[in-house]
């Protein structure tokens, strides 16, 4: 009597529509950039120990501040990444967020962008021999 042979199964209930709900979280700079300086320091140490050209001496010493500078620039310009969906999302179309008419006066943030690139101009020639030679020849030209 306990057999189900010949009985019809009931069709499954219709699936409810999947809704993702409201999502709001941030991905911080330390989550992504935290392990990178340690990994890069290990890479510099291994290559300096093996005596690879361009990774010993002053080049190895200046690569770590250059990596810290790059991590700082990424942290200031790209992070935090804000992920939103649902009620918290920005519902304004992206075309409304574009400045179609450029501002006729100079933007004060231009100065901050120039200051942000100064360490790159100082550290980059110190990290590689090729750029150091090009830097010396460019500084001696009239």
* pLDDT for the residue numbered 48: 87
* pLDDT for the residue numbered 103: 66
**CA separation for the pair 68, 29 (Å, rounded):** 13
Mean pLDDT of 70-96: 82
* pLDDT for the residue numbered 22: 80
* 98-111 residue pLDDT tens: 777 776 666 777 78
Place of tokens 């020639």: 125
pTM of the model: 0.61
* pLDDT for the residue numbered 130: 65
Residue 33 has pLDDT above 60, yes or no: yes
**CA separation for the pair 128, 32 (Å, rounded):** 26
Residue 71 has pLDDT above 80, yes or no: yes
Cβ–Cβ < 8 Å for 98, 30: no
Burial 83-103 (b: 16+ CB within 10 A, else e): eeeeeeeeeeeeeeeeeeeee
């Amino acid at each position: 009597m306990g057999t189900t042979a010949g009985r019809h199964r009931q069709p499954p209930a219709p699936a409810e529509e999947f809704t993702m709900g409201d999502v709001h979280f941030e991905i911080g700079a330390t989550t992504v950039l935290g392990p990178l300086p340690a990994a890069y320091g290990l890479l510099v140490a291994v290559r300096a120990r093996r005596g690879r050209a361009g990774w010993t001496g002053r080049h190895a010493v200046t690569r770590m501040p250059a990596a810290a500078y790059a991590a700082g620039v990424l942290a200031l310009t790209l992070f935090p990444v804000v992920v939103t969906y649902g009620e918290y999302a920005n519902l304004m179309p992206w075309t409304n967020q574009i400045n179609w008419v450029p501002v006729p006066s100079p933007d004060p943030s231009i100065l901050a962008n120039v200051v942000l690139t100064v360490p790159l101009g100082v550290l980059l020639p110190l990290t590689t021999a090729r750029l150091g030679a090009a830097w010396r020849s460019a500084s001696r030209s009239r």
